[in-house]
């Protein structure tokens, strides 16, 4: 569909400018525009096509449903010694995260471990930008968020769980931390949708139809339920995400979020849980030498021909910072149309 | 091999007495005998054949290698506000956990979140007994431990990672919490060993041979490497366990643990990380109503015919508490031989 000739070459500054223009035009308040733009630029920069400027179209659709508070001002609540909550007041998660981050870092460094709960936010992005922001402070980070009830538990037949990503980060010397961020569903929902559009069958194990039978028909799986990765183990992890980024922090499960959506097809509303651990809390002055010891593990992974998670993403980042990014003409035009 | 006639029916008190006698006879100090016995009884009671009295044989073998400090006195180190470390001094993990638990609970309730690191311990048991002990205090719990380097990372060909279990628990009304505890390897190592003994092929996906090729030969997989569950996602989680229950807490990776074992085939030596979160830290007086809200999620899982993790284990527990347990005669005799 696209070829190099029909791609548009953009610098990252141009991506940012395009994102700002598109989001302002949708009526999003400036502080949110800046926070969301940082995520969009990061996604495009790292070669995550579905989390780059394409997401501006998703954002715009979600904003049109009226389900996002465009000028929400997040409220930071300093709870127990190790806990901070930020009420996003129905706005996008990014700004709420930015506002809560300094206190999370301060608490993690003071106590060795701390948690940040974001409540009542609209979530449409990957979790790795948040992970990387915490890890940049020298901390180990975890993040979890439910989504919409699209996924059946192992052994079940009906959608109940979200795609429920789990993300983790570990500081490394140099610019690139160890980071992973994956859905606990077998694949992203968008992947099934892409197969449907292309008229292609999906592999066994991605979804079941409305009667709970294994299916290779993407439309049947979208109407039925997605499956978790890794059978009952992935299912258990998905339920864990529901619990710790739902009721534990006083927020919605994926089933509650999709009920609230009531067919509007907006991005999921709910909570997000971020944990931060300071190696110095365990190890004091010896932390650095042990963090260095982890490099032996990473070297052994790469040394046997395996890849580290995010390796491809960091390679894309290096390229994008040097050369800019190529965006398909059609996508570029669609995003430009948001500005007009 | 066994049938009901050749089984020995034991009360849980009898299991405990047998465990105590066997462990004392191996020269294990009394405080350790009590702590280990509680784990053995819990495993047998819950129908986990490989973690019940069978483990006394494994313990005895490990004790014979001289790799366990039989009379180690764990040292509790009150670190940062949210962190406690216990140095097990080369002894079994159970006693170290018991000694650290009160401070972990106190810190979690004061700060909302806390971490317990156990260092320099010998680990041979499941993690769920520790999870259940933390959850009994009304806390949400996570536990992680590396093991021996038997598992290849996704895309790799050589053993590097441990079977690296992840365990989680959530308090529920009534006697049975939500708990899972699983290896991040595709199966337990013992499962492959059982296939080897029975001369049965293993399914694709469990292991690779020494040349890194997929194999259905259990002996070839034992000599090559096990695989993680869930492809690159399970592999990422396994690496996470190495990091957070290894270098983060100043302890060994699975590769370092097996190098230290130097062929003695003792249980892995290293660390364990336990996290505890108090729902009241986020929610104060409203915590109980949100914890109750999680019951809707569990009801929806069970209501569609799926099982909750640990459901079978809790059913076995109910039975064992009422009727005692049945132990194969051969196993019973082998354990009795430890006492003589």
CA atoms within 13 A on the CB side of B46: 21
pLDDT at A262: 84
List, for residues A100-115, the tens digit of each pLDDT value. 999 999 999 999 999 9
How large is the ipTM? 0.96
Angstrom distance (rounded) from CA B247 to CA A140: 11
Chain A to chain B Cβ contacts (< 8 Å): 229
Angstrom distance (rounded) from CA B127 to CA B142: 9
Q: B-chain residues within 8 Å CB-CB of A283?
A: 249-250
Same domain, A288 and A247: yes
Same domain, A319 and A290: no
Angle at CA of residue A116, ends A172 and A53, nearest 5°: 70
Choosing from B11, B50, B290, B315, the catalytic residue is B50
**Residue B218: inside a domain:** no
Asked if the model's pLDDT at residue A26 lies above 70, the reply is: yes
Shortest alpha-carbon distance between residue B27 and chain A (Å) = 33
Shortest alpha-carbon distance between residue B32 and chain A (Å) = 25
Same domain, A116 and A48: no
Asked if the model's pLDDT at residue A145 lies above 80, the reply is: yes
Of B180, B290, B307, the CB nearest to A250: B290
Same domain, B125 and B239: yes
Beta bridge partners of A140: A277
Tell me the pLDDT band of B2, cut-offs 50, 70 and 90: very low
Which range among A287-291, B190-194, B214-218, B323-327 shows the weakest confidence by mean pLDDT? B190-194
Both tokens of B307, joined, read 């099982």
Same domain, B121 and B257: yes
Angstrom distance (rounded) from CA B112 to CA A117: 12
DSSP state of A8: E
Q: B-chain residues within 8 Å CB-CB of A157?
A: 304-305
pLDDT at B260: 87
List, for residues A208-254, the tens digit of each pLDDT value. 999 999 999 999 999 999 999 999 999 999 999 999 999 999 999 99
Angstrom distance (rounded) from CA A303 to CA B152: 12
Distances in Å between the alpha carbon of B314 and those of B63, B144, B167, B239, B319?
Answer: 31, 22, 16, 30, 9
Any idea of the CA torsion for A317, A318, A324, A325, to the nearest 10 degrees?
-40
Tell me the pLDDT band of B1, cut-offs 50, 70 and 90: very low
Same domain, A154 and A272: yes
**Residue A280: inside a domain:** yes
H or E stretch covering B86:
strand B83-87
Q: Tally Cβ neighbours within 10 Å of residue B263.
A: 7
Share of chain B above pLDDT 70, in %: 99
Domain total in chain A = 2
Tell me the pLDDT band of A5, cut-offs 50, 70 and 90: low
Asked if the model's pLDDT at residue B24 lies above 60, the reply is: yes
DSSP state of A202: P
Angstrom distance (rounded) from CA B147 to CA B269: 7
Shortest alpha-carbon distance between residue A91 and chain B (Å) = 20
Same domain, A160 and A36: no
**Residue B213: inside a domain:** no
Choosing from A50, A232, A286, A295, the catalytic residue is A50
Both tokens of B246, joined, read 């290894």
Same domain, A143 and A292: yes
| Residue A254 Rama label (left phi>0; alpha psi -120 to 50; beta) | alpha
The boundaries of the domain holding residue A285 are 74-185+228-309
Same domain, A244 and A327: no
Cβ of B168 within 8 Å of Cβ of A236? The answer is yes
Same domain, A258 and A139: yes
Q: Establish whether B191 is a catalytic residue.
A: yes
**Residue A217: inside a domain:** no
SS3 A168: strand
Both tokens of A246, joined, read 């739902």
Q: Which residue has the tokens 């280990």?
A: B36
Same domain, B7 and B134: no
Asked if the model's pLDDT at residue B54 lies above 80, the reply is: yes
Shortest alpha-carbon distance between residue A168 and chain B (Å) = 8
> Residues B168-172: what's their mean pLDDT?
97
Interhelix angle B30-45/B54-64, nearest 10 degrees: 150
Which range among A14-23, A237-246, B4-13, B160-169 shows the weakest confidence by mean pLDDT? B4-13
- The string of DSSP letters for A264-295 reads --PPPEEEEEEEEE-HHHHHGGGHHHHHHHHH
pLDDT at B234: 98
Cβ of A82 within 8 Å of Cβ of B112? The answer is yes
SS3 B325: strand
Q: A-chain residues within 8 Å CB-CB of B177?
A: none
Q: Three-state SS across A44-84? A: HHCCCHHHCCHHHHHHHHHHHCCCCCCCCCCEEEECCCCEE
Shortest alpha-carbon distance between residue A22 and chain B (Å) = 35
DSSP state of B262: T
Choosing from B34, B106, B137, B191, the catalytic residue is B191
Share of chain A above pLDDT 70, in %: 99
List, for residues A178-197, the tens digit of each pLDDT value. 999 999 999 988 889 889 99
pLDDT at B276: 98
List, for residues B214-263, the tens digit of each pLDDT value. 999 999 999 999 999 999 999 999 999 999 999 999 999 999 998 888 88
DSSP state of A151: B
Cβ of B247 within 8 Å of Cβ of A293? The answer is yes
CATH assignment at residue A179: 3.30.1370.60
**Residue A209: inside a domain:** no
Same domain, B132 and B52: no
**Residue A190: inside a domain:** no
**Residue A205: inside a domain:** no
- Continuous H helices in chain A: 12-25, 30-45, 54-64, 93-111, 128-135, 189-198, 218-223, 231-244, 254-261, 279-283, 287-303, 311-323, 329-339
Angstrom distance (rounded) from CA A113 to CA A118: 17
CATH assignment at residue A15: 1.10.1530.10
Angle at CA of residue B302, ends B299 and B308, nearest 5°: 105
Cβ of A83 within 8 Å of Cβ of B281? The answer is yes
Q: Pick from B277, B274, B281: which is nearest to B115 by CA? A: B274
Tell me the pLDDT band of A2, cut-offs 50, 70 and 90: very low
Q: Which residues contact B67 (CB under 8 A, 6 or more apart)?
A: B90, B122, B261, B264, B266, B267, B269
H or E stretch covering B294:
helix B287-303
Q: Establish whether A195 is a catalytic residue.
A: no
**Residue B7: inside a domain:** yes
Asked if the model's pLDDT at residue A88 lies above 80, the reply is: yes
> Residues A6-11: what's their mean pLDDT?
94
Cβ of A117 within 8 Å of Cβ of B282? The answer is yes
Angstrom distance (rounded) from CA B97 to CA B121: 10
Q: A-chain residues within 8 Å CB-CB of B275?
A: 113, 275
DSSP state of B228: B
To the nearest whole number, what is the mean pLDDT of chain B?
A: 95
pLDDT at B4: 55
Distances in Å between the alpha carbon of A117 and those of A16, A130, A164?
Answer: 28, 12, 16
Choosing from B19, B32, B44, B51, the catalytic residue is B51
Q: Specify the pairing of strand B113-122 against strand B83-87.
A: parallel
Tell me the pLDDT band of B5, cut-offs 50, 70 and 90: low
> Residues B193-221: what's their mean pLDDT?
95
Q: Establish whether B51 is a catalytic residue.
A: yes
List, for residues B93-141, the tens digit of each pLDDT value. 999 999 999 999 999 999 999 999 999 999 888 999 999 999 999 999 9
Q: Which residue has the tokens 């409540």?
A: A119
């Amino acid at each position: 569909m696209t070829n190099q000739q029909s791609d548009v070459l953009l610098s990252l500054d141009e991506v940012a400018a395009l994102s700002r223009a598109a989001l302002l035009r949708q009526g999003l308040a400036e502080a949110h525009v800046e926070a969301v733009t940082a995520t969009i630029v990061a996604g495009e920069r790292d070669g995550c096509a579905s989390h780059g400027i394409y997401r501006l179209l998703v954002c715009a659709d979600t904003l049109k449903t009226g389900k996002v508070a465009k000028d929400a001002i997040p409220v930071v609540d300093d709870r127990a010694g190790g806990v901070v909550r930020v009420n996003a007041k129905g706005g996008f998660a990014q700004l709420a995260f930015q506002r809560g981050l300094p206190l999370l870092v301060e608490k993690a460094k003071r106590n060795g471990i701390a948690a940040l709960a974001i409540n009542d936010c609209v979530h449409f992005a990957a979790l790795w930008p948040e992970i990387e922001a915490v890890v940049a402070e020298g901390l180990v980070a975890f993040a979890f968020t439910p989504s919409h009830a699209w996924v059946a538990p192992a052994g079940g037949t009906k959608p109940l769980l979200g795609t429920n990503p789990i993300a983790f980060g570990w500081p490394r010397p140099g610019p690139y931390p160890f980071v992973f961020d994956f859905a606990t569903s077998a694949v992203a929902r968008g992947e099934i949708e892409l197969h449907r559009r292309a008229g292609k069958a999906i592999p066994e194990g991605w979804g079941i139809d409305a009667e709970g039978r294994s299916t290779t028909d993407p439309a049947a799986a979208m109407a039925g339920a997605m499956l978790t990765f890794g059978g009952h183990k992935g299912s258990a992890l998905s339920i864990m995400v529901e619990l710790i980024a739902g009721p534990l922090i006083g927020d919605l499960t994926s089933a509650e979020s999709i009920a609230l959506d009531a067919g509007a097809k907006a991005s999921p509303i709910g909570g997000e849980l971020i944990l931060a651990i300071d190696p110095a809390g365990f190890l004091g002055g010896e932390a650095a030498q042990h963090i260095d010891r982890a490099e032996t593990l990473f070297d052994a992974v790469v040394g046997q021909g395996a890849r580290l998670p995010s390796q491809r993403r960091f390679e894309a980042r290096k390229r994008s910072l040097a050369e800019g990014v190529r965006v398909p003409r059609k996508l570029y035009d669609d995003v430009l149309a948001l500005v007009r």
